[in-house]
Amino acid sequence: QQPVQSPQAVILREGEDAVINCSSSKALYSVHWYRQKHGEAPVFLMILLKGGEQKGHDKISASFNEKKQQSSLYLTASQLSYSGTYFCGTESPRPSNFGNEKLTFGTGTRLTIIP
């Protein structure tokens, strides 16, 4: 079952903040975040492992609450380059030691930044 992302779309002015949520009905081992610009391949942003960690680089950060099976992506002081569709991908617990586990992606959140 796909994780649910909210909102489905958001329009911001440059410099405003945004929060994108990802919620799963299944227990999670990790959450991945990717951004895809129109006509391009998805690009990796970050991975959060169970343990409730929070990560971030530059002005994009994320949190993962494994008890609530939720993750949130925070974009602060948004820039035009942040525009695109953001996907969360979730992994179930007990991954193997090798290779990728099956990633189940949400349907995406389209973020538009206007000047």
Partner 1 sequence: KAGVTQTPRYLIKTRGQQVTLSCSPISGHRSVSWYQQTPGQGLQFLFEYFSETQRNKGNFPGRFSGRQFSNSRSEMNVSTLELGDSALYLCASSLGQQSREQFFGPGTRLTVL
Q: Binding-site residue total for partner 1 (CB under 8 A)? A: 26
* Residue 40 binds partner 1 (CB under 8 A): yes
Cβ nearer to partner 1, comparing 18 with 48: 48
Closest approach of Cβ 86 to partner 1, in Å?
11
Return the HEC string of the chain: CCCEEECCEEEEECCCCEEEEEECCCCCCEEEEEEECCCCCCEEEEEEECCCCEEEECCEEEEEECCCCEEEEEECCCCHHHCEEEEEEEECCCCCCCCCCCCEECCCEEEEEEC
Tell me the window of 10-18, 19-27, 76-84, 103-111 that interacts with partner 1 (CB under 8 A). 103-111
* Residue 103 binds partner 1 (CB under 8 A): yes
Binding-site member from 63, 65, 76, 105 for partner 1 (CB under 8 A): 105
Q: Which residues bind partner 1 (CB under 8 A)?
A: 2, 30, 32, 34, 40-44, 47, 87, 89, 91, 96-108
